[in-house]
Amino acid sequence: MTFVKGPVTVRTPASSANLGPGFDALGLALTLYDEITAEVLDEPGLEIEVSGEGARDVPRTSDHLVVTAMTATFDLLGERPPGLRLECANAIPHGRGLGSSAAAIVGGIVLARALVEGSDARLDDRAAFQLAVDLEGHPDNVAAAMFGGLTIAWIDGAAAEVQRLDTSVQVTAFVPSEAVSTEKARGLLPETVPHRDAAVNAGRAALLVAALTVAPERLIWATEDRIHQTYRADAMPESYKLLRQLRVEGIPTIISGAGPTVLSFARGVADRVPQGWSVLELDVDTEGARTL
Ligand SMILES: Nc1ncnc2c1ncn2[C@@H]1O[C@H](COP(=O)(O)OP(=O)(O)OP(=O)(O)O)[C@@H](O)[C@H]1O
Ligand SMILES: N[C@@H](CCO)C(=O)O
């Protein structure tokens, strides 16, 4: 196997998952990006520089999520490089529901693939997506991070599948200062939900795909959820309060991913940002992860 020495840079978008009713299925890629640059070293060793989001927290060892994803990719392709140098410039906040872990995983996979000569044929986008899903554990964020646009992802047996669509929706993300880990937020979900709630969600998720593509006037109905947001409210009470307020005003709003970011499918609402939070006005990324 021949390695490209590099440096090679990959840019990966943030993403919002669930979008209200589409739990673990819908994803939307957003114009906020992490950039990772890698270089293959001739001598053994791992050098990691991190700037921006998470710089004070993430490990500089083989436990770094980008490295974990790169290592899994090299192993799938058959060989690890002798040494590696990484520079991570992070703009996606961690543990806020904007797909930082999916961006790290997808970015790592695409980067490792770019560092192995001729690997595109051996690890096409579909296989790369499957690996990302296996590492992340659910497919919604990684689908959007990998392919861009609006994605509907599902798992058939162990096989991950995705349908990508275009949408021109614009969003405003209200980002609290405190993180809530996806692991914690998933732990709050019940084993089962009432049949009537599942039925409402199925209808709203179907409507949401129409609302995001051809019928934007349906967004307020289409963004209703009954199977995860309320169950997670105790872990993010301020987010839940803002969600209720904005929806009562008729602004289509959801909890982004596992929270605690609150995301409105609207512009001109940035002044609603609570004190101490940040606000991001974003468009939809259409490309997904790509080598620069
Ligand atoms: N760029 C990164 N580099 C290294 N580790 C990262 C990076 N991004 C995320 N992580 C790891 O993933 C954790 C956050 O993942 P988590 O799934 O809890 O939240 P999220 O992905 O930001 O939100 P969500 O999945 O709801 O969209 C961080 O605490 C860190 O351990
Ligand atoms: N569908 C996932 C998205 C966060 O990774 C969840 O809500 O737990």
What ipTM is given for this predicted complex?
0.98
Q: How far is the CA of 182 from the centre of ligand 1 (A)?
A: 8
- Find the Cα–Cα–Cα–Cα dihedral 104, 189, 178, 150, rounded to 10°: 50
Q: Residue 110 is inside which H or E element, if any?
A: helix 100-114
Label residue 119 by pLDDT band (50, 70, 90): confident
Q: Flag whether the pTM goes above 0.80.
A: yes
Which residues, 6+ apart, have CB-to-CB distance to 104 below 8 Å?
12, 34, 65, 66, 69
Atom 1 of ligand 2, nearest CA residue: 24
157 annotated to a ligand binding site: no
- For residue 187, pLDDT beyond 90: yes
Residues 205-225: what's their mean pLDDT? 98
Q: What confidence tier does 264 reach under pLDDT thresholds 50, 70, 90?
A: very high
Point out the ligand nearest to the CA of residue 225: 2
Choices 3.30.230.10, 3.20.20.60, 3.20.20.150, 3.40.50.300: CATH for 8-165+285-291 = 3.30.230.10
Torsion-angle region of residue 215: left (phi > 0), alpha (psi -120 to 50) or beta? beta
Mutation pick for ligand 1 pocket among 64, 101, 133 (CB with most ligand atoms within 8 Å): 101
Predicted confidence (pLDDT) at residue 3 exceeds the cutoff of 80:
yes
**Residue limits of CATH 3.30.230.10 in the chain:** 8-165+285-291
Cis peptide bond prior to 7, omega within 30° of 0: yes
Q: Is residue 122's pLDDT more than 90?
A: no
- Does ligand 2 come within 6 angstroms of the Cβ of 141? yes
Rounded distance, CA 145 to CA 106, Å?
A: 7
Predicted local confidence at residue 236, as pLDDT: 98
User: What does the pLDDT look like over 165-180, one tens digit per residue?
Assistant: 999 999 999 999 999 9
Ligand 1: residues whose CB is within 6 Å?
17, 34, 54, 58, 64-66, 88, 90, 94-102, 104, 141, 181-182, 257-258
Taking only Cα atoms into account, the Rg of the chain, rounded to an integer number of angstroms, comes to 19
DSSP for 129-150, written as a single string: HHHHHHHHSSSHHHHHHHH-SE
Average model confidence (pLDDT) across the chain: 97
Domain with CATH 3.30.70.890 in the chain: 171-282
Q: Please choose, from the candidates 104, 101, 251, 247, the residue with its C-alpha nearest in 3D space to the C-alpha of residue 180.
A: 101
CA triplet 167, 173, 106: central angle to 5 degrees? 65
Residue 122 vs residue 189, higher pLDDT: 189
Give the pLDDT mean for 37-64: 97
Residue 24 has pLDDT above 80, yes or no: yes
In this prediction, what percent of the chain has a pLDDT beyond 70? Answer: 100
Give the whole-angstrom CA distance, residue 77 versus residue 115. Answer: 11
Tens of pLDDT, residue by residue over 235-252, are 999 999 999 999 999 999
Q: Is 96 annotated as a binding residue?
A: yes
User: What pLDDT does 201 receive?
Assistant: 98
Give the pLDDT band (50/70/90) at residue 271: very high
Type of residue numbered 145 = A
Query: For residue 140, which atom of ligand 2 is closest to its CA?
Result: 1
Say how far apart CA 165 and CA 95 lie, in whole Å.
26
- Residues counted in the chain: 292
- Closest ligand to the CA of 105: 1
Q: Hey, what CATH topology would domain 171-282 get? A: Alpha-Beta Plaits (3.30.70)
Query: Band of the pLDDT at 1, cuts 50, 70, 90?
Result: confident
Query: Which of 23-32, 49-58, 121-130, 239-248 has the weakest average pLDDT?
Result: 121-130
